[in-house]
Chains A and B, each alone.
Chain A
Amino acid sequence: MRVRGRTAAFIGVTAAMVIGVAATIIYSVGTGRDPSRTVTWWVPNWDTPIATDLVAEFEAQNPDLSVEMVETTSDTMANKISVALDSGDPPDVITELASRTRTSIAKGALADLSDLYGPDMPRSDFIPGALDAVTNDTGTYAVPYRWDCIALIYNKDLFAAAGIAGPPATWAELEATARRLTSGDVTGTAWPMSGAAEDLVRRYLGFALAAGARSENGIPLLDVASSQAALEIVGGSVAEGWASRSSLEVDNTEVRELFINGRIAMYLGGVFDVEQQLEAGMNVGTALTPGPDGPGVQAADGWGYLVPAAAKNPTGARRLVEFLARAENMARLTMTYPARISAGGDARFHDQYREPHYVQLAEHSVPPPNDPAWVGVNPFVYSTIQAVALGQVTPADGARAIQAEADRVLGPTG
Chain B
Amino acid sequence: MTAAGAAATIAGPSPAARAARSRRRTGLALTLPAVLVMAGLTIVPVVSVLQRAVSGDGRAAFGRLVGSPDFVQVLLNTAVWTVVAVVGALVVGHAAALLMHSRHLRLAGFWRGLFMIPWIIPNVVGATVWKWNFSVDYGLVNHWLLQAGLIAEPVGWLSDPSVVLIALAVVQVWFTAPFIMLMVSAALTAIPEERIEAARIDGAGGVAVLRHIILPAIRTTTGLAALLMVVWALNSFTIIWVATGGGPAGASTILPILIYQAFQTGDAAMVSAVALIQLVVSMVFAAIYVRAVRDDMEEAAS
Contacts and interface: CB of A to CB of B under 8 A. Distances in A.
B248 A248 contact: yes
Contacts of B247: 193-194, 248, 382-383, 386
Contacts of B197: none
Contact of B156 (A249, A378, A408): A249
Nearest to B267: A376
Interface string B230-252: 00000000000000111111100
Contact of B248 (A103, A194, A376): A194
Contact of A82 (B250, B262, B266): B266
Interface residues of B, number: 29
A194 B64 CA distance: 25
A197 interface: yes
Nearest to A197: B245
A245 interface: yes
A22 B223 CA distance: 37
Given A78-B264, A249-B156, A263 B137 contact: yes
Interface in B127-164: 131, 134-138, 156, 158-159, 161
A103 B266 contact: yes
Contacts of B244: 194, 249
B interface, by DSSP: helix, strand, loop or mixed?
loop
Interface in A368-414: 372, 375-376, 378-380, 382-384, 386-387, 389-390, 392, 401, 408-409
Interface in B170-197: none
Given A263-B137, A383-B70, A248 B156 contact: yes
B14 interface: no
B266 A372 contact: yes
Most buried by B among A195, A245, A257, A409: A245
Given A249-B159, A383-B70, A375 B137 contact: no
Given A82-B266, A103-B265, A376-B265, A249 B136 contact: yes
A375 B265 contact: yes
9 contacts: A194-B244, A248-B158, A258-B137, A372-B266, A376-B265, A379-B265, A380-B68, A383-B249, A387-B250
Given A245-B159, A376-B262, A389-B248, 12 more contacts: A82-B266, A103-B266, A107-B266, A249-B135, A249-B158, A249-B159, A376-B265, A379-B261, A383-B70, A387-B248, A387-B249, A390-B161
Interface of A: 78, 82, 103, 107, 193-197, 245-246, 248-249, 257-258, 261, 263, 372, 375-376, 378-380, 382-384, 386-387, 389-390, 392, 401, 408-409
